[in-house]
Structure 1
Amino acid sequence: MLRTMFIAIFVSFFVSTSTSIFAKDKDDGSNIQPDNYYPRVKMVTSMGDIIVELDRSRAPITVNNFLRYVDKRSYEDTIFHRIVPDFVVQGGGYDTQFIEKPAFGKIFNESGNGLKNVMYNITMARQKDPHSATRQFFFNMSNNDSLDPGRDWGYTAFGSVVEGYEVLDKMVAVKTDFDPKYGWSDVPVEQVILIKVMVLPPV
């Protein structure tokens, strides 16, 4: 019986230790502050700083995915390429030359997590395919109920602004125009740049 108990304890220890080791080896963002369900990031922009609290408890796939791009410094010197008053401030996908940044791949849509597309929440951008989000995100600049899930998939909110509301208010007021080179509407006339994003120490 003692031998059986020893084997059981050993196996349990081995499994828990191995799981911890493998988690540290993962490169999907889950290794970044793995025990913190509400990691915070600081976005340094050309118009000021924004601090966002992410909700890993409700949107683990999305938050880990976002943190992976932050950890790789892949959001540095990207632009907010789409700004629509009373709707969204969108960025994270293009550099200052309008060259599309590389993506890790599409992620599962977590829009049914209970988080809503309300003012100042951060949400993943996507194509028509509900599971097509990669790296682009946007800030809701209104209560965008139409982006929440209903009969169809919605857009995944995964955190909220805790500091820097006034920065987003300034961003959404910038002059925009149609860009004939790329065929895009709502492009800022003067670039709004995301200079860098950093993970803050746990609070």
Structure 2
Amino acid sequence: MARIKPQALLQQSKRKKGPSHISGTTSIFYTLIFVVIMFFLFATYSHWSTRTTFQPESYISVSEDENTIVESKKSDIPEYAVVITSKGSIIVELFKESAPEVVDEFIDLCQKGHFKGMFFHQVIKHYVIQAGHKGPGATEDWNLLGKKYASMRHEAFMLGTSKGKYFNKGFDLFITTAPIPDLNEKLIVFGRVIKGEDIVQEIEEVDTDEHYQPKSSIGILDVVLRQMV
């Protein structure tokens, strides 16, 4: 039996180990590729899952914030006005629901100081007291300009403005001193006196001339807006 030389044995050993070494490397290589692919798929899934989750929530959050702002603006509208006259203060509740545009205009004019220094230039007992910067008569200058605003019944101590002047970019103030339903087509009612009826009656009782103009000046010093009284 022939003996195998040591060199031949060494070469055979190398050839046997060779395939085993290549197989291990290949396995590691494919394992790394698999791990990378799985990581990429997991990252993609996480990204889209997170985006889908947060989009509706952020939309709802914005909507809720907008609603909060709208509600806040509504609640910021003053509900009362204090008409400070030379005879005393008259507190008026504003009708924000029934005459919103008129109330908004009134509030804007108050903030601009429109009513400061305005005189009660027409006083008709058991009828109305009228304050304004100008205007001749208490009744003859009223214009019946349609029914854009359906004024409520004119009970005593209601605050209103004449339709004629309002639609012509003017704004005067009337406070009724008796129930006067025939004024429904001439006045826009946007508030009512809740305190200071005695001041209204005191103004009503001043001496006037034949044109219903007070013989002594009675004016509005200021109008203060309030949320509560």
Taking structure 2 as the reference length, the TM-score comes to 0.62
1:116 aligns to 2:153 (yes or no):
yes
Q: 8 Å contact 1:40–1:199 — kept in the other structure? A: yes
Q: 8 Å contact 1:109–1:131 — kept in the other structure? A: no
- Mapping of 1:118-137 within 5 angstroms? 118-127=155-164, 131-132=167-168, 134-137=170-173
Q: 8 Å contact 1:88–1:139 — kept in the other structure? A: yes
Q: Which runs of 4+ in 1 moved over 6 A?
A: none
* 1:143 alignment counterpart: 179
RMSD: 3.1
SS in structure 2 at match of 1:177: coil
1:163 aligns to 2:195 (yes or no):
yes
Structure with greater proportional helix content: 2
SS in structure 2 at match of 1:73: coil
The aligned length equals: 168
* 1:181 alignment counterpart: none
* 2:45 alignment counterpart: none
1:91 aligns to 2:131 (yes or no):
yes
Query: What residue ranges of structure 1 are gaps of 5+ in the alignment?
Result: 25-30, 99-107, 179-184
TM-superposed CA distance for 1:8, in Å, is 3.8
Cα gap change, 1:110/1:171 in structure 2, threshold over 3 Å: closer, same or farther? farther
Q: 8 Å contact 1:126–1:134 — kept in the other structure? A: no
Structure with greater proportional strand content: 1
d(CA) in 2 for partners of 1:195 and 1:3? 56
**1:50 aligned to 59, 74, 90, which one?**
90
1:9 aligns to 2:9 (yes or no):
no
Query: What residue ranges of structure 2 are gaps of 5+ in the alignment?
Result: 1-51, 137-145
Identity of aligned residues (%): 20
Deviation string for 1:128-153 (max 9, x for gaps)? x88346310100111110012xxxx4
